[in-house]
Chain A
Amino acid sequence: MRTTITATIALSLLLAVLGGCGSGPVSYVSDEVDFGFIRTVAVAPFSNLSADRFAAERLESVFLAELLTYDGLRVVDTGEVRKAWNDLRLGDPDELTPEQLKAVGERLGVDAVFTGAVQEYGLERLGGNGTYSVTVVFGMLETVTGSRIWNAQVQTDGSSFWRSLFGGQPASQYDVSRKAVRQGLDTLLSGGGDDGGDDRRDSSRRG
């Protein structure tokens, strides 16, 4: 009996330790903002600090598709956002002044702008196996005040305890990217949102 209890506790501890190996997102959600008033948003062009030149576009594309799975947000078309960025001669979205953000808000008719900066993106070698890894910082800037109302840094990779134990196909770069985006958005729209519910509908598929 005692042996069974000891084994159960040891197994639980092992699983807890293994489950906690992946670092979760580090996030901040402003408690001074009523997110219910944010209805129309834009997704700013993501910036890329990684060695992969398509990293920002890949993450931005996944982010947009995932964002649209949440009901209740109106997202301005990408073409108009990019044109506004060019016309207003804006650079890195994370370095915009409050005046520039206000101009973006007026031009696009949006309440907030989502930003993203890809810090690491690519294949990481862990021992003999390679796994894809993504580090990305997401943000949300309010256009009226120019303040940052949400920030989430996500570091994730395709490693898995079960996969390392039993083998199998490694997670694709797309899967890892989507996981990072979901983890980031969940800190805002599922946990920290005003309705607290998960309004996601799954519209992103794997072929």
Chain B
Amino acid sequence: MKRARRHRRTVRLALAAWLACACLPAAAAAQDDAPPPRREPIPSYVPLIEPVAPLLFLDARTRQFLPAPVAELRAAGEAAVAASAMGAVDPGLLDELQRRHRVRSGLDLGRDFLHDVLHETGARRVVVVDLLFDTGIVLAAGRLIDAADGRLLGAGAMEPEAWTEPDAWRAAVDRVVAALLLDVARHRPEPGDDLLIALPVHVRGLERADGVTATHTLLQTLLDDGGFTLPDPGVVNHLLLESGHDPRLVDAAGQQALAAALGPARLLSADIISYDGAAGIGPAVDLDPGASAAPRLALPSFTYTVRLTDLSEGVILDCVTLYQDDRPEEGWFGIVHSRSTRGVLHRTAQRLAAELGIHTEANP
């Protein structure tokens, strides 16, 4: 009995020694092969060192939410953009071009305008920055566009920057613009030949700022996915308006106009509908969308639907709906994900892009 026990102990010891011998070199090798501790990738600033044309657009829920006169806000915003975009071209020249082409919104950029920007200012890139003000917060969203062909090169939306002191809005604008331009200009995968026209996200029962964030996070997702050539939504909007079509309701004629101007493509339309019980009950028309002075803290439950339409036939190729409730998202080991508007919309867009049959056989 004793002998058998001793034998078992010996076997166990031998096994443990063998395991230690086998595993230690493997662990050491794994440690050698393991990538260095994760660091934030060093962003590429190349597009913003080259001559770049910054276009700044300001917005607020209502005028009362602007922390200063518009001219002052514009000057601060332009200064913040110029501080980050080292190759910014002469603002006077750009202003004159904006007036000539009547560019009043970041979603209305004609190819004639981009052509003139390229040839009259020498800027090869256009960076569109939208600043949306609310009570004590500013939200920034932006896009980087190739002035030669209206192709989208970068897109991003930032978490809102808040301030409490009356004059602290300047610092908030500086911070949010600097962070946005870093994100917009960072290196992305090479675009492919597959042309995908993404329309701005249409929101129902949410705030306009949510729509802007959703549009930019969806564009960012598609760009990060790689393999697509995305015309800038501002260029697409202008093409539709120019040919007499409603950009919010792209019918067959509008689809044909896009196909004629941009070539054979697929159209990506996205809608977000709020499932907030209180949002749906009320007058049919928003009497005063800015009536509530307090900004909403978190997104309500919503569905996010994306449709992929074949422009040549006008039929829906695929449609995916995701429901996102307003409960905290819990991951492994009790990790609670951020419930920020941008975080939720970005993650939902990423999941939708993965679910949707967006990749073709030629572009897997």
Contacts and interface: CB of A to CB of B under 8 A. Distances in A.
Interface residues of B, number: 42
B274 A54 contact: yes
Contacts of A160: none
Nearest to A81: B251
A51 B363 CA distance: 46
Nearest to A64: B319
Interface in A149-207: 172-175, 203-207
Interface stretch (A12-20, A72-80, A89-97): A72-80
Interface in B245-263: 246, 249-252, 254-255
A2 interface: no
Given A58-B273, A78-B307, A172 B323 contact: yes
B314 A204 contact: no
A123 interface: yes
A205 B322 contact: yes
Contacts of B301: 172-174
A55 B318 contact: no
Contacts of B355: 203, 205
B244 to A, nearest CB: 12
Contacts of B183: none
B205 interface: yes
A83 B251 contact: yes
A54 B271 CA distance: 13
A207 B252 contact: no
Q: Most A CB atoms within 10 A — which of B249, B254, B279?
A: B249
A52 interface: yes
Contact of B275 (A51, A65, A173, A205): A173
B323 A77 contact: no
Nearest to A67: B319
Contact of A122 (B252, B277, B315): B277
- Interface size range of chain A in the complex: 20 to 34
B240 to A, nearest CB: 11
Contacts of B314: 76-77, 80
A84 interface: yes
B316 interface: yes
Interface stretch (B27-35, B89-97, B152-160, B280-288): B280-288
A102 B307 CA distance: 27
A148 interface: no
Interface of A: 40, 51-55, 57-58, 61-62, 64-65, 68, 74-80, 82-84, 122-123, 172-175, 203-207
Interface of B: 204-205, 246, 249-252, 254-255, 267, 269, 271, 273-275, 277, 279-282, 284, 301, 303-305, 307, 309, 313-316, 318-325, 348, 351, 355
